[in-house]
């Protein structure tokens, strides 16, 4: 059974799969080109227009990729990419301290980034405009997602599923 080729692998490696992967690489390259264009000193209005166009083009490319590779192709691509990522053991439920720490790491940088334009408008010069601080906030935000654990993603995903229901598995049930 181990030496038998999977139907998924055969179905996912045709010309459609290869075109889908090429379009995915193109979409990533378009996003990575934006900072390079900014480094060349493009005017802010031009850079904003290019960024907006890249955002729309990436959405269209994603729809095209989905149409090209289909479910089997996405599964194959996921398996290929997962083979390069070290497997992380799934941790059980997180404790209250880790949960509170993760929420703080998640919400404080997010709230600060939303309020930054208003702070700059109402109190110019109050906030130091250093990219290292902004990068630090972004890194804390991403680390907060990992601190919150895998169940956090299930909860976020449930926000977008109309029929999802909350099930409390703790022993503190309110009846």
Residue 57 has pLDDT above 90, yes or no: yes
Question: Per the confidence metrics, is the pTM higher than 0.85?
Answer: no
pLDDT of residue 53: 93
State both tokens at 111.
């709230």
CA-CA distance, 168 to 151, in Å (whole number)? 12
Task: Give which of 173, 175, 170, 174 is closest to 99, Cα–Cα.
Answer: 170
- Region 151-156: mean pLDDT is 75
Q: What are 70-100's pLDDT values in tens digits? A: 878 878 887 887 788 777 666 677 888 988 9
CA-CA distance, 79 to 77, in Å (whole number)? 5
CA-CA distance, 9 to 72, in Å (whole number)? 8
Report the chain's mean pLDDT, rounded to a whole number.
Answer: 81
Domain edges within the chain: 7-82, 96-158
């Amino acid at each position: 059974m181990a030496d038998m080729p999977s139907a998924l692998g055969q179905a996912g490696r045709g010309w459609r799969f290869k075109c889908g992967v090429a379009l995915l690489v193109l979409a990533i390259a378009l996003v990575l080109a934006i900072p390079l264009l900014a480094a060349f000193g493009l005017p802010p209005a031009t850079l904003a227009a290019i960024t907006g166009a890249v955002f729309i083009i990436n959405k269209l490319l994603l729809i095209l990729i989905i149409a090209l590779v289909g479910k089997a192709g996405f599964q194959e691509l996921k398996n290929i990419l997962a083979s390069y990522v070290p497997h992380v053991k799934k941790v059980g439920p997180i404790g209250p301290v880790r949960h509170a720490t993760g929420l703080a790491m998640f919400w404080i940088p997010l709230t600060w980034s939303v309020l930054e334009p208003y702070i700059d408008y109402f109190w110019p010069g109050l906030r130091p405009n250093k990219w290292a601080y902004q990068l630090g906030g972004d890194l804390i935000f991403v680390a907060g997602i990992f601190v919150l654990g895998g169940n956090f993603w299930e909860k976020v995903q449930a926000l977008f599923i109309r029929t999802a229901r909350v099930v409390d598995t703790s022993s503190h049930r309110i009846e």
